[in-house]
Amino acid sequence: MTQLLKDLTPRQIVAELDQYIIGQHDAKRNVAIALRNRWRRMNSTADMQREITPNNILMIGATGVGKTEIARRLAKIADAPFIKVEASKFTEVGYVGRDVESMVRDLVEQAVNMVRSAKKEAVQVRAQQLVEDAILDILIPPVKPTNGQSGVGFENASADPDAELNERTRERFREKIRSGEMDDRKIDIDVQQSQAPNIGIMGGSVDDLSMMNIQEMIGGMMPKRGKKRKVTIAEARVILLEEEAAKLIDMDEVKEEAIRKAEDAGIIFIDEIDKVASARSGNGGGGPDVSREGVQRDLLPIVEGSAVNTKYGVIHTDHILFIAAGAFHVAKPSDLIPELQGRFPIRVELQSLSEDDFYQILKEPKNALTKQYVAMLQTEDVSLTFQDDALRELARIAFEVNGDVENIGARRLQTVLSHLMNDFMFDIPDVIGANAHVVVTKELVGEKLNGLVKNRDLSQFIL
């Protein structure tokens, strides 16, 4: 990861984000600096590494302007574990909700999955060879060594005609397995099954970590039992590859690396933090405000830096990057408790999206909705083209509906475009066959959507 961050300057990070997110340059600049600072910290002297803390970011902006997408794309650029949580789901002890430490455990789980996947890629070739051998052993068992020989191979096979024939037959079948000729043939394989039962606890609540530890402990005590399954060779290859790859991976090494990755590179995105901010109304802080402030005080030690127990080991949150976000329509950032405000020193206000922004969102990003529809119809051998004035009309309608009904930002584009394309998606391939060319024009957009927009009451239900 250090090498990856070294090759990404803040300008390059912003350029990467520009490929997916329109506008919001201040937010992009700040997250790019925060990401580059991680490399700077890890390359500082050992005593300074402990002192340099991340500049956590508070994003302020309405829904659908790109807050979550910026954080998610940042994590992908850095190949970092990323978790999104909603602050309103956490409560202090005594109220119904989730334990705030669960977000750190989820982050570690994500890190373990990432490291395990990388390790699997590294042993993939060796695992494939072992799977081939296992399938061959089922199809054509090797000749058992005789006369005290330790095994059969080409060197000693010449002394045993049966062994030589067996070995040559196995090699021919190996080529057929590799070429896929035998994918549909069925074989019996042994699949390992854990006998761990589902466990319920009576007589009181048990936190997530304790329940996971109990399940894992009892699962380890229960014997693993093999089950015979009749599957095709293609299916067996997938099942056995997973098992063989798992055997080649050192899980202790995976856990250690995952903990380091989560501590040094992890990003936790706390959404809806404005929902737990208590507006100062002078009522003495009663009712639901008690719970909201309790959530903030529970979040504070995690954001400040603390040790959290997970089933993979202890993780320190001191250098995890926290990005909080909220619309702050009712409450203000200053309504957060002062200690928590201080832990988010970088504040970025994201701009509301304009009609031109909507047009750019439909046209430019790599993952633009229009490009997604083009890709989907290509699977049906149907070509799809959006004319430029049609995109501008879609942007105008989405912007107008946001103003008249409820502003949900760029998410409105998905609703509008879905309504526009539904008839085509339903008629392909039964009515609109292969090799057809669908062209979306401004007139077509107007025909399908303008009538709905004019009727505001109806648009509330449809758009």
Residue 66 annotated as lining a ligand binding site:
yes
Q: Is the pLDDT of residue 226 over 70?
A: no
Residue 411 annotated as lining a ligand binding site:
yes
CA within 13 Å, CB half, 40:
13
Residue 164 annotated as lining a ligand binding site:
no
Give the burial string for 70-86 (b: 16+ CB within 10 Å, else e). Answer: bbbbbbebbebbbbbbe
Q: Is the pLDDT of residue 64 over 60?
A: yes
Residue 201 annotated as lining a ligand binding site:
no
Q: Report yes or no: 59 and 325 within 8 Å, Cβ to Cβ.
A: yes
> Which pLDDT score is estimated for 285?
47
CA angle, 371 then 373 then 375, to 5°: 70
pTM of the model: 0.79
Q: Report yes or no: 208 and 86 within 8 Å, Cβ to Cβ.
A: no
Residue 271 annotated as lining a ligand binding site:
yes
Name the nearest CA neighbour of 86 among 271, 258, 218. 271
Residue 101 φ/ψ, nearest 5 degrees: -70, -15
Residue 333 φ/ψ, nearest 5 degrees: -55, -30
Return the higher-pLDDT residue of 242 and 459.
Answer: 242
Phi-psi region for residue 56, left (φ > 0), alpha (ψ -120 to 50) or beta? beta
Residue 339 annotated as lining a ligand binding site:
yes
For residue 447, which amino acid is it?
A: E
For residue 27, CA distances in Å to 59, 72, 74 come to 8, 13, 11
Q: How far apart are CA 374 and CA 438, in angstroms?
A: 10
> Which pLDDT score is estimated for 282?
44
Instruction: Give the tokens for residue 75.
Output: 């994590």
Instruction: Give the tokens for residue 113.
Output: 């999955």
Residue 64 annotated as lining a ligand binding site:
yes
> Which single residue is written with the structure tokens 């957060």?
336
Q: Report yes or no: 324 and 86 within 8 Å, Cβ to Cβ.
A: no
Domains recognised in the chain with CATH numbers:
2-117+254-343 (3.40.50.300), 124-248 (no CATH), 355-451 (1.10.8.60)
- pLDDT one-digit tens code per residue, 283-338: 444 555 667 788 888 899 999 999 999 999 999 999 999 999 998 888 889 989 99
For residue 31, which amino acid is it?
A: V
CA angle, 25 then 28 then 32, to 5°: 140
Residue 22 annotated as lining a ligand binding site:
yes
Name the nearest CA neighbour of 448 among 409, 402, 390. 390
- pLDDT one-digit tens code per residue, 17-41: 999 999 889 999 999 999 998 889 8
